[in-house]
Amino acid sequence: MAGVTNLEVAAILREVADLLEIKGVRFKPQAYQKAALAVETMPEDIAEVAAAGKLEEIPGVGKAIAKKIQEIVETGKLGYLESLRQELPEGVLHLIGISGIGPKKAIALSQALGVRTVDDLEAAAKAGRIRDLPGFGEKTERNILESIQMSRQARERRLLGQILPLARDIERRLTAHPSVRRVSLAGSIRRRKETVGDVDILAASTSPAEVMEVFASLPGVERVLARGLTKTSVVLSAGIQVDLRVVEDTQFGAALQYFTGSKEHNIALRRLAIARNWRLNEYGLVDLSTGRQIAGEDEEGVYQALGLPWIEPELRENRGEIEAARAGKLPDLVGYDEIRGDLHVHTTWSEGAHSIEEMAEAARALGYEYIAICDHAEALRIARGLSPERIAEQVREIERINRESESGFNVLAGIECNIGLDGGLDLPDSVLADLDVVVASVHSGLKQPEEEMTKRLITAMHNDNVDIIGHPTGRILLEREPSRIDLAAVFEAAANLGVMLEINAYPSRLDLSDVNARAAREAGVRLSLGSDAHSRENLRFMEFGVATARRGWLSADDIANTRPLSELRNVLRR
Ligand code: DGT
Ligand code: CA
Ligand code: CA
Ligand code: ZN
């Protein structure tokens, strides 16, 4: 079957993993999870890899899983999955879709309360029928309600990191059409918002009908919702709507400005036009007294006519950018190509898919000067965390790699240690002191009361060995709310102690968020960007971290890893 995407294959593999886990099968679920992650994040098209007979070359894909992927690519389905599904009590799968409900809880809910759907579950929680089940309690009941709300939201929005590659692919294919003059992404995806509701694309073409035809029959288009000469809307098999608008080349700038949004930015901009007795809309900027078009061919012209420099799309949220533009005080945003190294990378030493050397080689190919290997430490048994002995071994391995490297590329020996409930770390200071970079992050007890969580983070920062607090709020986009933290207090402590806060670039984290990163910088905190890569391909997630930094008004100076290694060493606390 043509057109099965990497995401679809990954989704099927994940479901197999979930079902195997429910059945209590050991090891196999992890194998399927790992394969799913690899397929989801690899740059090659899975159908092409299958056609070339190279599935087994994907890291984490052995003979058995390769056969399954082959079947999915050929038929769009997996017989093995169908049979696993039939073994389950009805409804259990829907429940597992809710974050915080694992297989055991789902089966218990189904058996004790006859809960079959998410609506059933919500009703049971609201009626207080869950708290008395063995192993549940009042807190769990509350968490279940919160998760249901998150998952309802999630159905409506998708991660930027998942959708941007698909949107770029469409953009590329449209650009290739001979009648097309200009193409651009617009809407929230052009603003690089962390989640997107739908994808907006704009094109200028001499032959709108042909472009719409090409668009409606792109691979990956599952359904055409509405079709016209100026606007066509489709739904991709990945489950997201894409709107294509085709406009006259002379109006492209005005349309791009309008459809990029945000709505709030546009309203503020339109006020400037009205004050001059002009009208600004998607067709152009028009002087109402003469009826003459003042601007509209390109975006710069629209902003210029209104007395403003062009404003980067990432800033267009009406959070002060128009005032800053008018005052000539727009920030000099960090560029997507200004990152010199990645400060949060995992390898096969803990839960990663690739070796230190493979990660280093991939980072070098991206143009980096350094990476920090930050595998998990001991407390994270699920992630095969490292003992002090293993860390010493890893440090020796890194020293060897650096010694033998002829490229001038540097691998830094780091760790991602776990911040315990009391703010303590899971490695002795003597071990931490010997490393180049120490990232400390919270991985459990995320629902502590605000006061405790705040104290916990500040206690960790008081350890002189800690350079960076990883994914500071613990949120998972569309899935888990950030922990309750007094961020102002954390920012103040970080600034005073010289501890950096991370913008974790993993697509489902983006933590700190744009708004929080901006507040941190204003409080004098230095930020660090880390992809949290679990494979070579994941290194590319850095882009989403940079996008978040830009949306947070950050310049290169605010971010440690825009510095060459010699300068970076000065901001590390050792
Ligand atoms: P999304 O899709 O929810 O992630 O967010 P956007 O910003 O992409 O919103 P969308 O797709 O509804 O519309 C795309 C852009 O079109 C939006 O950013 C600004 C513009 N736009 C849409 N509706 C309005 C409106 O009623 N007034 C103004 N001024 N602009 C609008
Ligand atoms: Ca949109
Ligand atoms: Ca839209
Ligand atoms: Zn982590």
Dump pLDDT digits (tens) for 472-504: 999 999 989 999 999 999 999 999 999 999 999
Give the residue, by CA position, lying nearest to ligand 1 atom 20: 259
* 185 CA → ligand 3 middle, Å: 11
- Which residue carries 């803990």 as its tokens? 350
Q: Which residue, judged by its Cα, is nearest atom 28 of ligand 1?
A: 263
d(CA 503, CA 35): 27
CA 541 to ligand 4 center in whole angstroms? 15
The answer to whether the peptide bond before residue 512 is cis (omega within 30 degrees of 0) is yes
The confidence score (pLDDT) of residue 1 equals: 40
Angle between helices 79-86 and 6-22 (to 10 degrees): 30
In whole angstroms, give the CA distance from residue 419 to residue 238. 37
Residue 267 CA: which ligand 1 atom is closest? 29
Atom of ligand 1 nearest to the CA of 199: 2
Q: What is the pTM of this model?
A: 0.81
Pocket of ligand 1 (CB under 6 A): 187-188, 193, 196-198, 200, 258-259, 261-263, 266-267
Q: Whose CA is nearest to atom 14 of ligand 1?
A: 187
Ion ligand 4 — residues with CB under 5 Å? Answer: 441
Q: For residue 262, which atom of ligand 1 is closest to its CA?
A: 18
Report which ligand 1 atom has the smallest distance to the Cα of 193: 4
Question: Which of ligand 1's atoms lies nearest the C-alpha of 266?
Answer: 29
Residue-wise burial string across 383-422, b where 16 or more C-beta atoms lie within 10 A, e elsewhere: bebbeeebbeebbebbeebeeeeeeebbbbbbbbbbbbee
Cβ-contact 89, 113 below 8 angstroms: no
Of 189, 245, 247, 259, the one to substitute when testing ligand 1's pocket (max ligand atoms within 8 A of C-beta) is: 259
With contact defined as beta carbons under 8 Å apart, do 442 and 457 qualify?
Answer: yes
Q: What is the pLDDT of residue 382?
A: 60
pLDDT less than 50: residues of the chain: 1-2
What residue owns the CA closest to ligand 1's atom 9? 187
Give residue-wise pLDDT tens across range 230-248.
Answer: 999 999 988 899 999 999 9
Closest residue by Cα to atom 18, ligand 1, is 261
- Shortest-distance Cα residue to atom 19 of ligand 1: 261
Per-residue model confidence (pLDDT) at position 331 = 98
Q: How far is CA 376 from the centre of its chain?
A: 20
**Smallest CA separation from ligand 1 atom 3, residue:** 197
